Structure 1
Amino acid sequence: MTEKIHRSDIYGDLKNRNEKEASPLIPASTVILLRDGARTDDSSVSQSGEDIEVLMLQKNQNISFGGMWVFPGGRIDDEDYDGEGREAADQMKAALAAAVRETVEETALSVDAEDFVYFAHWTPPPATPKRFSTWFFAAEADNTKTASHHIEVDGEEILNHRWIRPREALALHADGKIDLAPPTWLTLYHIDKYPQVDLALERFRKTEEKIYKTHVAKDKAGVRVAMWHGDAGYESWDPDVAGERHRLVMRENGFVFENTAEEY
């Protein structure tokens, strides 16, 4: 069966499922900056009424995740660690520090890690060319210590920015007009359920963070499927196993999230 790969599928050739033979994990973090309603002080703003808007950045075609629309963030550098510690608590502090630093570098926005809500962690499968092990945080832009929401991108690593409704970004992706990596797509999918920022953040605070240790395999139709804990095919890497679903079906014509196993 011919393998059918969506252009936004970042997960590699699937041949290697052995963690011991995988490329090393690269610690990274990202922050989803949210706000209510549209503004008129920025020409890039989507005039969308009162729905949640998310800050998204377009990456240069010639770097990792080239051309994709992403949230502010990047790899965790040595400078982000407080001392020599690498324990779980140190990792979290470093992830917060990196998200703040990368946001300043990529957007010129000064944000406060005290406002961040940790809601997810993503690990790609062993075959992924660059394996970013990423902490996902969310924050309300208006609650950060930002003097101004004027955003500046460098025009080199980041080419463009936009405040956009999640459903609008998902529609553009479905139409082939923008590229979104699976973690970005699924984050937007879940945020789109909430009409206001405070409702989204409240839900994230009350719900245990999601751990996405991703397994990817082809189904019998040749479609690649990303599976997570709770999916019937997760442990066996077999999307065709009958039972509960917790997966992203990455069809050539678009992504479809299927879930009967996890509470969101």
Structure 2
Amino acid sequence: MTIDPDGFPAPAALVEHARRFHAEGGVPAVPRVAATVLLLRPAGGRPERAVTDGADFEVYLIRRVAAMAFGGMYAFPGGGVDVSDSQAHVGWAGPAPAEWGARLGLAPAAAQAVVCAAAREVFEEAGVLLAGPDARTVVGDVSGDDWEAARVALERREVGFADLLAERGLTLRSDLLLPWSRWITPEFEPRRFDTYFFAALLPAGQLTRDVSGEADRTLWVRPADAGELTMLPPTLVTLGQVAACGDLAGVGAASATRDPATPVTPRLDLRPDGEARFVLR
């Protein structure tokens, strides 16, 4: 997958909305803090294969239902930080919240909330749980009826993420999340998000499940083969970045050198000839 240095074509509906926003002197909405996760696995759906074997890999995508914000677009599982994420007293493994804060450019409590939101959302939307009995293990299959009931209760906010983990004697494995980038929705959008992107390897023994009512299609696809799908710039650019890593070990190595604190905000360039493109500079 190649990234066009001149930007990305913008959907007509977004162009019309942007023109109206600027013509009316609109006031930008305050972005909501959010988190999203690129779930990765070796190609062929065999997460037990060695991460260092050089094999190509796939990423999990969902297509948002048309009625939602950014509906009809393919994206990664994710969503807004919830009040429960910032108040959670969760069992924790991996880098401490202060270390996450230094990496993400956030106060420790805010960083913990973002990491909790990432893990919670990927469980709610994909049925994948980044947690284990201790700091060295990960829970296995979580697709049974009891787990599904717990996931639905979490999605409905009938139970908090920290409580769900505590009831089952599990610890959040924050070390399974690899920080990648940060994107802020353009100013003309009525719903804006300040989103932290993470990558994570699908745990052995777990399977993604099409459980989110917010998606009408899900698929695993090689990042390099996803260019024909309808995506907004954050998804498209991120897929290009991970594709360039070559393999899963390369993704892990690249994460260690990335800047996940400085935000990228796509700008819509409305050109005199009527063409409109998203640009990142």
TM-score for the superposition, normalised by structure 1: 0.68
1:122 touches 1:135 (CA, 8 Å); kept in 2? Answer: yes
Q: Which has the higher contact order (CA 8 A, sep 6+)?
A: 2
2:34 touches 2:117 (CA, 8 Å); kept in 1? Answer: yes
More helix by share: 2
Counterpart of 1:73?
A: 78
1:208 equivalent among 255, 259, 281: 259
Pair 1:95 & 2:156 matched: no
More strand by share: 1
Residue-by-residue CA offset, 1:61-95 (whole Å, 9 max, x unaligned): 22222222111110111001037xxx633222111
Count of residues in correspondence between the two structures: 207
Identity %: 24
Alpha-carbon RMSD: 3.0
Moved over 6 A (4+): 17-20
2-side partners of 1:110 and 1:155: how far apart?
14
CA displacement at 1:198 relative to structure 2: 1.2
CA displacement at 1:206 relative to structure 2: 1.6
Residue-by-residue CA offset, 1:221-258 (whole Å, 9 max, x unaligned): 33223333xx3xxxxxxxxxxxxxxxxxxxxxxxxxxx
2:246 equivalent among 189, 195, 201: 195
Q: Which runs of 5+ in 1 are unaligned?
A: 42-48, 174-178, 232-264
Pair 1:125 & 2:190 matched: no
TM-score for the superposition, normalised by structure 2: 0.65
2:39 equivalent among 28, 33, 38: 33
Aligned-partner SS, 1:91? helix
2-side partners of 1:150 and 1:11: how far apart?
40
Q: How does 1:98-113 map to 2 (within 5 A)?
A: 98-111=117-130, 112-113=173-174
1-side partners of 2:123 and 2:13: how far apart?
27
Pair 1:165 & 2:222 matched: yes
2-side partners of 1:117 and 1:106: how far apart?
19
2:208 equivalent among 151, 154, 157: 151
Distance 1:63 1:10, change over 3 A: farther
Counterpart of 2:201?
A: 140
Counterpart of 1:55?
A: 60
Q: Which runs of 5+ in 2 are unaligned?
A: 1-8, 48-53, 89-105, 131-172
